[in-house]
Amino acid sequence: MLENRRILLGITGSIAAYKSALLARELQRRGAEVRVVMTPSATEFITPLTLATLTDHRVYSDFTENKDTGEWTNHVDLGLWADVFLIAPATAQTMSAMVNGTADNFLLAVHLSSRCPVVVAPAMDLDMFTHPATQANLESLGQRGVGIIDPESGALASGLEGKGRMAEPEHIADWLSRWFKERAPLSGKTILITAGPTHEPIDAVRFIGNRSSGKMGYALASACAKAGASVHLVSGPVQLKAPAGVQQLTMVQTAAEMYEAAMGAFSQADIAIACAAVADARPVHSAAGKLHKTELPDAIELEATDDILATWGSRKKDNQFIVGFALETDDGEASALGKLNRKNADFIVLNSTADEGAGFGTDTNKITVFERGGKKHNFGLKSKAEVASDIVDLLIKRNA
**Which of 4, 74, 100, 210 is labelled catalytic?**
210
Helix (H) or strand (E) holding 54, with range, is helix 48-55
Helix (H) or strand (E) holding 272, with range, is strand 271-274
DSSP structure class, residue 326: E
Contacts of 8 (CB under 8 A, 6+ apart): 34, 35, 36, 37, 78, 79, 81, 82, 84, 85, 86, 110, 114, 116
What number of CA atoms fall less than 13 Å from residue 296's CA on the CB side?
A: 10
Environment class of 397 (CB within 10 Å of its CB; exposed 0-12, middle 13-18, buried 19+):
exposed
Strand partners, 147: 119
Annotated catalytic residue 137: no
What number of CA atoms fall less than 13 Å from residue 173's CA on the CB side?
A: 21
Strand partners, 154: 162
Environment class of 391 (CB within 10 Å of its CB; exposed 0-12, middle 13-18, buried 19+):
buried
CA–CA distance, 166 with 157 (Å, rounded to integer): 11
Strand partners, 7: 34, 84
Contacts of 176 (CB under 8 A, 6+ apart): 1, 2, 5, 7, 27, 84, 86, 119
Contacts of 170 (CB under 8 A, 6+ apart): 26
Which residues are designated catalytic?
A: 210
